[in-house]
Amino acid sequence: MRQETQHPQDERLEAYSDGSLPGNERAAIGSHVRKCVRCQSEVDDWRALFTSLAALPLLSPSPGFANRVMAHVTVQQAWQSRTAAALARFVPRTTGGLFVAVAMLAIPALAAGTLMVWLLSRSYLTGYRLWVFATDQFAAGTNQVASGAVSRLLETDIAVWLATTMTALLGSTGLRAMTFVAGGLSFAIVASIWVLYRNLFRTPNRGSTYVSFTF
Amino acid sequence: MDYRELTDQEVIERARDGREPAFRELIRRYQRPVFSLIYRLVRDRERAEDLAQDTFIKVLNALDRYDPSYKFSSWIFKIAHNTALDDLRRKHPETLSIHGSPHASNRDEIEATVLTPVSDDETPEEFTSSKEIGGHIEKAIGNLRVEYRTAILLCHVEGRPYEEVAQIMDVPLGTVKTYIHRARNELKKQLAHLRC
């Protein structure tokens, strides 16, 4: 067999062996390799290495791996996932976007802070007076909303019916029996809230079942 | 529903809808590739188990933040790679042995940490002979720098293209090519004694 004197560079032979050379160069080196024992041996070595690497076995974690992982995974319900995904869209992904978002949040905070500093710098306004003013306003507002809601509720037919029925029931069954009934109802309400909470927010993992109860 | 017939993206959609079998399908598909990569990087079964578990917990709890424009395999390998690198930075690397962890102090621990191939179509005889060659290669890979090791494992063992390896390792494509070229040459030198 005739030996070519101009051997391809090692990098070229390596690339030829893994098939990453472009067509024309591949053909040229292939033509040389077929005639050159030394380069053919080099290509064989590369290919043997690639084959051995590809033949390395996949390794398996110990049994129960999936269960151990799932014990720490929160399986969210669809609405939770969609809400999280929708909120995630508003989170900036780039440094520039993050800077703009921080700046936008900082503007109202700075404005409020400046206003507060200016107010506190006035001689007629002190921190204590501002606090009293804010709590008074809050209390008045809460009181107004609550009293409005109660008076509206008492004006409805349902409230009148409920009051009449409860009075009649209290007269016929007595206070003690009514206390038991109220206790039972309270327990049922708390238990229902717990079941709802477990099913809506703490969805099952590790093969656990949905929480339910029967009376 | 047979989740095995679905693509990764379809399985992820179902996982996002809160279907637990979809989560388990993702674990089934990737537990061996991810564990193999991490094991060959950190070279200790117990640590590899913990790190593979951490990887899956991170990935499955963050499915809402997964961007479908990227391949899921790239994403999970990237997290696995980063998790293993963080661990390697904290601890000293050890010598790889297919015969068990160097930490093993008794027979039970040696058996518990031995590398276990799971190729279904390999007979015990084939395994015994391939174990001889595989042992040399595993040892040679273990002697590589961690960057070269990662690149060679992702490219040749996991069969990922250069572009995906670059994405997983978060380095330019040219750097990946350099890593792989140098890793191959080192492996070739280390395994030269097997040629005859």
**Per-window interface: B 82-121 vs A, CB < 8 A:** 112, 115-119
Q: How confident is the model at residue B130 (pLDDT cuts 50, 70, 90)?
A: low
Give how far A75 is from chain B: nearest CA, Å. Answer: 5
pLDDT of residue A208: 42
- Residue B47: burial class (beta carbons within 10 Å; 0-12, 13-18, 19+): buried
**For residue range B23-52, what is the model confidence (pLDDT) as tens digits?**
999 999 999 999 999 999 998 899 999 999
Specify the higher pLDDT residue, B31 or B129: B31
List CB contacts (< 8 A) between A74 and chain B.
61
State the ipTM, two decimals: 0.76
List CB contacts (< 8 A) between A57 and chain B.
115, 117-119, 122, 130, 134
Asked if A58 has any chain B CB less than 8 Å from its own CB, the reply is yes
**For residue range A119-176, what is the model confidence (pLDDT) as tens digits?**
878 877 777 888 898 899 999 999 999 999 888 888 888 888 888 888 888 888 787 8
Least confident of A58-62, A81-85, A115-119, B91-95: B91-95
Reported pTM: 0.59
* Rounded Cα distance, A26 and A63, in Å: 47
Asked if A87 has any chain B CB less than 8 Å from its own CB, the reply is no
Instruction: Give the angle B38-B96-B176 at the CA atoms, nearest 5°.
Output: 50
Contact across the interface for A65 and B187, Cβ inside 8 Å:
no
Instruction: Give the angle B65-B69-B71 at the CA atoms, nearest 5°.
Output: 90
Asked if B27 has any chain A CB less than 8 Å from its own CB, the reply is yes
Could you say which of A50, A59, A74 has the minimum Cβ distance to residue B32? A59
**For residue range B5-20, what is the model confidence (pLDDT) as tens digits?**
899 999 998 898 888 8
**For residue range A24-41, what is the model confidence (pLDDT) as tens digits?**
888 999 999 999 999 999
Asked if A94 has any chain B CB less than 8 Å from its own CB, the reply is no
